[in-house]
Amino acid sequence: MNDPRLHFKKPLLTSPFHTRTSALNKLNSWGPWGGYTTVLAYDDEPMEYTAIRNQASVYDLSPMVKYKIAGKDAAAYLNRLMIRNVEKLKVGYVHYTVWCDDQGKLLDDGTLFRRSASDFMLCCQERHLPWLLDSALGYDVAISEISEEIAALSLQGPCSYSVLKAAGFEKAAALKPFQMADFKFGKSGTLTISRTGFTGDLG
């Protein structure tokens, strides 16, 4: 889909973590992703892979596309698009799912977060806002892209909880697979942690 933010004359965006990631990027290895400039590798790729499998690693997922989908018919609307039964998605949990057009063609895959009975967040790789809006005809639902409002980090590996604990998020240990919860962050902030790792390990 055409996205005016990705015009060749416009510079790539940087995430809120850019200052930190650029300081760690010893290889000066960068690449474009979803209109952002992101690190491709920091220092040593085999060692980074080893860290995921034996300790922990962090990756900036801020360029992932995020949509807020809310309203009285939000669940019914999403249930029409997703291949999984959205009615079975409990509040505070996440579905990994795919969605199709009216001809059954698979459009993308991603994660669907249910924050309340009528408030969802869809996180995916590609932009689908025009299609999502067209598909909402007849439903009492509001859809908006919130990608630039939410920064995201992926913390993966068998020691990932130890990192969270050291950062003061001990209660994250209670999270079940594909469960999410909000935690206090700083003096007045809120941080959402979800157990939605895709590396085959804790994350």
Segments forming the whole domain that contains residue 165: 4-62+152-194
- What does pTM read for this prediction? 0.89
How many CB atoms within 10 Å of residue 193? 18
Tell me the pairing of strands 65-70 and 119-124. Answer: antiparallel
Contact assessment for residue 134 and residue 7, using Cβ atoms and an 8 Å cutoff: no
Examine the domain organization and report whether 76 and 174 are in the same domain: no
| Alpha helix segments (H runs only) across 25-109 | 45-54, 74-81
> Is 201 among the domain residues?
no
Alpha-carbon span 47 to 49, nearest angstrom: 5
- Angle among Cα 193, 196, 199 to the nearest 5 degrees reads 130
Range in 1-15, 45-59, 95-109, 147-161 the model is least confident about? 1-15
What is the CB-side half-sphere exposure of residue 191 using CA atoms within 13 A? 14
- Angle among Cα 193, 63, 115 to the nearest 5 degrees reads 35
Q: Please tell me whether residue 138 adopts helix, strand or coil conformation.
A: coil
Task: Please state the length of the chain.
Answer: 203
| Domain at 51, CATH number | 3.30.1360.120
The predicted pLDDT at position 21 comes to: 92
**Which of 81 and 203 is assigned the larger pLDDT?**
81
The predicted pLDDT at position 90 comes to: 98
Average pLDDT value for residue range 152-164: 93
Counting the structural domains of the chain, the total is 2
pLDDT band at 6 (very low <50, low <70, confident <90, very high): low
What is the token pair recorded at 153?
A: 């980090």
| Domain at 76, CATH number | 3.30.70.1400
- Among candidates 139, 195, 150, 143, which has minimal Cα distance to 171? 195
Examine the domain organization and report whether 87 and 100 are in the same domain: yes
